[in-house]
């Protein structure tokens, strides 16, 4: 299991839109732009389900997700992969709902998705391209 480093956390905190990739049980890919993504703790990312349709169907049958994060100014980029769990009740969902209400009060979150980080790969050009952190 990979842990989110300070550098990766900083990149995530500066990014506004995150491409989230999932795949159906049959391997059909799906990528969507998400704005409600943040570090939950050293091993998890929180993704809020405000409008998920295909993405939610995919993770219900194939609970794996990949997220690409980047910082153009500092020329840093990472691919984060992991297994997800859906929370529609309890403290994870409650925290997600509070976060969304602070940012966009009109939205009604449907669930919270926790991505348990399993792998982080370097995506910026250079000697470490493709290497796992």
Residue 127 falls within a domain, yes or no? no
What tokens were used for 96?
């997600």
Residue 40 falls within a domain, yes or no? yes
Q: Are strands 44-49 and 64-71 parallel, antiparallel or unpaired?
A: unpaired
CATH code for the domain of 117: 2.30.110.10
Encode pLDDT of 73-120 as tens digits. Answer: 999 999 999 999 999 999 999 999 999 999 999 999 999 999 999 999
Number of domains in the chain: 1
Separation between Cα atoms, residue 119 and residue 19, nearest integer Å: 17
Residue 133 falls within a domain, yes or no? no
Encode pLDDT of 2-59 as tens digits. Answer: 899 999 999 999 999 999 999 999 999 999 999 999 999 999 999 999 999 999 999 9
pTM over 0.85: yes
Residue 1 falls within a domain, yes or no? no
Question: What domain range is 21 assigned to?
Answer: 6-122
What tokens were used for 111?
């669930």
């Amino acid at each position: 299991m990979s842990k989110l480093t300070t550098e990766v956390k900083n990149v995530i905190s500066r990014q506004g839109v995150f491409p989230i990739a999932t795949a159906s049980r049959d391997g059909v890919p799906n990528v969507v732009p998400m704005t409600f993504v943040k570090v939950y703790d050293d091993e998890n990312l929180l993704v809020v389900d405000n409008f998920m349709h295909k993405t939610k169907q995919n993770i219900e049958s194939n609970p794996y997700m990949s997220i690409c994060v980047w910082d153009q100014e500092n020329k840093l980029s990472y691919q984060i992969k992991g297994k997800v769990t859906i929370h529609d009740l309890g403290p994870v969902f409650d925290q997600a709902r509070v976060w969304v209400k602070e940012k966009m009060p009109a939205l009604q979150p449907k669930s919270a998705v926790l991505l348990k980080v399993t792998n982080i790969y370097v995506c910026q050009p250079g000697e470490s391209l493709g290497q796992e952190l």
